[in-house]
Amino acid sequence: MRRDNYIIFSEGKIGRIMLPNRLVRSATWDPSILTRRVMTDEVLNLYRGLALGGIGLIITGGFPVFSERSRNSDSGNWLSTYADLRIKGIERLVQEVQRAKPKCRIIAQLENGNLNARPSVVDSPFSRRKVRRLTMKEIGNIVDCFVEAIIDMDKAGFDGVQLHAAHGGLLSRFLSPYTNRRDDSYGGSPPNRARIIREIVSKARQTVNDFPILIKMNCTDYLVGGIDIDTFSELAQEIEQTGVDAIEVSGGMWDCLVRSEQELSFRPVPAPESHTRIRNPEKQSYFLKYVEKLDLGIPVILVGGNRNIERLEEIVSQGKVNFIALSRPLISEPDLPNRWLEGRGSRTTECISCNSCIFAMHVHPVSLNLVWSRVCIKQTSPSIV
């Protein structure tokens, strides 16, 4: 039976853009784009398939907006800016997605590149690199790189951008009290930790006006002293005040994976935002309890273990969540939104949350076909799920 009357398949709005439904493809790493630094037909075909599969909004894999140069660089500049890193032919991606009917929207995710500096020097169990503390001038340069990228994405025709401030990336490390231990105007209180986001958004708005700017942020770091269920709501309210148009709620930093399953309440395997063993409905949509504490005036996008269309319709109908985001399920089923709308097959996804796709992305970073099509293990082994 078709589900045309479901809220999930009704129009939704983020900022100035109208979406044909409430299903979002959450940012999924596109390794071949970043390796080749050029838009390829392989990538375009993949995104075309997603758009034709019925998803309302696609958020791209993260595009780096800066990268640290070698200290021996002849240029004398310590930072490669967005202009140095821009993907050749990125406009083709926008054109390909926006041809889909009903019109699919596409938002570019922006993230930091390779940088050997942090808001604070906090050792990570996953890196032996010696990191340094960012200076105030360097923070200003990073803000400018993000602003430059936002302006260019607007010119390229994207429907908006998303700042990646989750999962332990640089912006995420500013927001988290675990990784941000500064005692200046960028550290300490939630307003100070959110200052870099406020500066990026306000400076970009001077040029792009109401161009939609979203953010992806952690509701929990799964680390003692980090963002958690008791502190997330206050931080989210502060982020709303920066002028972003929507918040996608995720969680986890890789540093947490040294903790036990008993401490985390989930199996500590890469990546912490992508839980395994979530066949049972009560283990799915695992960031919902954090969202239920929010009281915001901007749309909230829920990602993380969303697997059952009936359960997701129930979540959206409760009013705390405006959009549902999916990543791993759309690797195995790019046409999942259409299948659910038309009432074909199971109410659950084929994806069993085994994380084989994440492993393959790192092992085969230049083969999207292999990463996104051939690694999904379609079985129901209790040892995996």
Each residue's pLDDT tens digit, 317-332: 999 999 999 999 999 9
CA distances from 84 to 89, 148, 199 (A): 14, 11, 22
Which option is the CATH number for 7-349: 3.40.50.280, 3.20.20.70, 1.10.150.120, 3.40.50.2300?
Answer: 3.20.20.70
Q: How far apart are the first and last CA of the chain?
A: 28
The candidate with the shortest Cα–Cα distance to 24, out of 280, 308, 291, 329, is 329
Per-residue tokens: 111? 């993230």
Averaged pLDDT, 125-135: 87
Per-residue tokens: 24? 């979002």
* Average pLDDT score over the chain: 91
Q: How many CB atoms lie within 10 A of CB 121?
A: 13
pLDDT of residue 80: 86
What band does 383 get if pLDDT is binned at 50, 70 and 90?
A: very low
Averaged pLDDT, 232-245: 98
β-bridge partners, 213: 161
Averaged pLDDT, 283-304: 98
Stronger pLDDT, 152 or 380, i.e. the higher one? 152
Q: How far apart are CA 48 and CA 80, in angstroms?
A: 31
